[in-house]
Amino acid sequence: MSQAEVIVGVSGGVDSSVAALLLQQQGLRVAGLFMQNWADDGSGFCRAEDDRKDAVAVCGKLGIPIHFRDFSNEYMEGVFKHFLDEYAAGRTPNPDVLCNREVKFKHFLDAAMALGATQIATGHYARVVREDGRAKLARAVDTSKDQSYFLHQLGEAQLDVTRFPLGEIEKTRVREMARAAALPTAAKKDSTGICFIGERDFRAFLSNYLPMQDGEIKDPAGVTLGTHHGVYFHTLGQRGGLQLGGVRGREQAPWYVVAKDVSRNVLVVDQGHDSEWMMSQRVETEAMHWISGTAPARSLECLAQTRYRQAAQHCRIDVNDDGTVTAHFAEPQRAVTPGQSLVLYDGDLCLGGAVIAQIDAPIPPALGH
């Protein structure tokens, strides 16, 4: 077979399988590349070997070559160490954003080009659109599956050589196409979460790397309600895993994490889904990554998401001299979490994004310094 024009990142899932199928149906010369991004830790929870076998089976069914690359060292250095550092600092990182920037659209892209391809493709739900000769990132047609939030760290040069074949297709149609083509992954469940955690308990996994340390759970006024095993196992807005149960003298209503103090190992919780203690209207970020390379203006009105699967919210962005931005939201935002990403949109076009550094939610008296 002649050299592949497009190399697809085949993960062993149905999405990347159908991405490869669609490109082949377009008459392109296609090959697959399976990335191993996590060294097996012996826990049995990472399904990389099963995924590898499925990727081989899919490429065999399609009659396309498959290549293999081990990026586990690159993943450890570029993604996982940062993941641990962020949790240790009391923030909640998003490893999928870093994995896309540091592995899939850097090391995978380089490997594909070294193999002679002129383009790469993945099974992400997003679109590359071209306006005025420039490659731009846009939401997928199936907005319920849109993954542009996780791709906001890409630049025009990467987008220019990237295809997202599923960007124009509804997820239900993807399953139908996989069944019609008798792909081995047609009925395979979508993977959720992060490979290195797998199906195991998140806190148990994290405790292998960060020390468990019991501390107090307090209400906003400072009344002690119970104990926890480490603030970095909890994130703002979290409801489950607090093990508070019924608290004497309090109504029977769920408790939510509204604040935490890593230095004192104190967790603050409150009742009410929209507690005032976790509502923010102003968000400060780290340096903003603009997909186009530059900010469109020093101040602009746009849409923004502070987490995946959130409806886009209206805000005003002020670009600061150091490249950070300040976002002023039209309405208070619930549980905006430092370490997560603020991602900006102009309609369906993704403008870029940055890590959330600070929020203006009120500080509960329990944490008054």
325 to 129, 305, 360: CA distances (angstroms)? 26, 14, 14
Task: Name the helix (H) or strand (E) containing 85.
Answer: helix 81-88
d(CA 106, CA 155): 11
How many CB atoms neighbour CB 17 within 10 A?
31
Q: At what angle do helices 14-25 and 171-180 cross, to 10 degrees?
A: 70
Q: What type of residue sits at position 71?
A: F
d(CA 142, CA 56): 28
Q: What angle do CA 127, 68, 195 make, to 5 degrees?
A: 65
Length of the chain in terms of residues written: 369
Q: Which of 319, 290, 5, 295 is nearest to 136 (CA)?
A: 290
Q: What angle do CA 193, 198, 204 make, to 5 degrees?
A: 105
Contact 181, 174 (CB under 8 A): no
d(CA 12, CA 10): 6
Q: Which of 220, 223, 232 is nearest to 265 (CA)?
A: 232
> Which distant-in-sequence residues (6+ apart) come within 8 Å of 294 by Cβ?
none
Q: What is the set of active-site residues?
A: 99, 195
Q: Which of 23, 179, 195 is nearest to 104 (CA)?
A: 195
